[in-house]
Amino acid sequence: MNNLLQTFPVFLLIFCRVTSFFVVAPLISSRNIPTRFKVGVATMVSILVYLSYGTNQTAAFDGSYVLLIVREILMGLLLGYCAYIIIIAVQIAGAVLDIQIGFGMATLFDPTTGAVTPLTGQFKYMIAMLLFLSMNGHHRLLDAIVYSYDWVPIDNELFVRIYDGSLMEFLLKAFAMSMMVAFQMAAPIVVALFLTDVGLGFLAKTAPQFNIFVIGIPIKIIVGLLLLLLLMPSLTYIFDQLFSLMAQTMQGVLGTVGKRPQ
């Protein structure tokens, strides 16, 4: 009974961080994955983490234990959110392309997130998730949550980092980086469509008998889809760099909250 009273509080703290990470982490947080499977995986990962890092940790059921639970939940959500905001750059890039191509009014309901997503963004997001699995990206997510205890142990200083503003500064930089990556991904097609608009403008001036509003929309759709088809082989390299950036962002937030292991 004494061993159980010493083991359960530490295990519960580990379980809170792992479960909250799975709530927001890309791919794992999908609504298509059954909740029982998520809880089962979180329990197995928590057991492995406890056997590796938690056997020499202590925690007691006292007045401060609630704060420990809140801190671990926030740590898991923070780590998963940093991975998610990098992956969501794919849908942001797709939304920019949809506005330029003319698909801005054609949106889709994404069953994995429960939100309305752009057409091109959803297409790219599905390809990104397939490449994410083929490149063992899910292993990177599991490594991040397991080895987070080397960087940020249970007795971490998360509240101190929130108070001094270093964590918020890092999150703003990560969000700005996500937006920059999204615009970089959409830039080639956006520039080509801008030149198409310029050409249509010259056509409207030189040949006023053409109805630009009628022929302009299908021309932009054809140009956008052709360029998207031509750039498809480069998506593997782009998404590989994106996944590496996701790992660097998760490592950055761990370094901001905790310390690099020796």
- Domain coordinates of the chain in residue numbers? 78-257
pLDDT of residue 108: 63
Neighbouring-strand partners of residue 116: 109
Amino acid at 145: I
Phi-psi domain of 53 (left: phi exceeds 0; alpha: psi -120 through 50; beta: other): alpha
**Residue 1 pLDDT exceeds 70:** no
Among 171, 169, 189, residue whose Cα is nearest residue 179: 171
Query: Model-level pTM?
Result: 0.83
Residues 6+ apart with CB under 8 A from 194: 100
Distance CA 93, CA 82 (A): 18
pLDDT of residue 110: 63
The stretches of the chain forming alpha helices (DSSP H) are: 2-24, 35-49, 65-87, 89-101, 119-134, 137-151, 158-164, 166-206, 212-230, 235-257
Mean pLDDT, residues 99-126 taken together: 72
Average pLDDT over every residue of 118-126? 79
How many beta carbons lie within 10 A of that of residue 180, not counting itself? 11
* pLDDT band, very low/low/confident/very high, at 95 (cuts 50, 70, 90): confident
Separation between Cα atoms, residue 42 and residue 25, nearest integer Å = 12
pLDDT in tens, 129-151: 888 888 888 888 888 888 888 88
Give 20's pLDDT tier (boundaries 50, 70, 90): very high
Answer whether residue 223 shows pLDDT above 70: yes
pLDDT at 114 (0 to 100): 62
The pLDDT > 90 percentage for the chain reads 5
List phi, psi (to 5°) of 55: -70, -25
| pLDDT tens-digit map of 45-75 | 998 888 888 777 777 777 788 888 898 999 9
Q: What is the mean pLDDT of the chain?
A: 83
Side-chain half-sphere CA neighbours of 253 within 13 A: 31
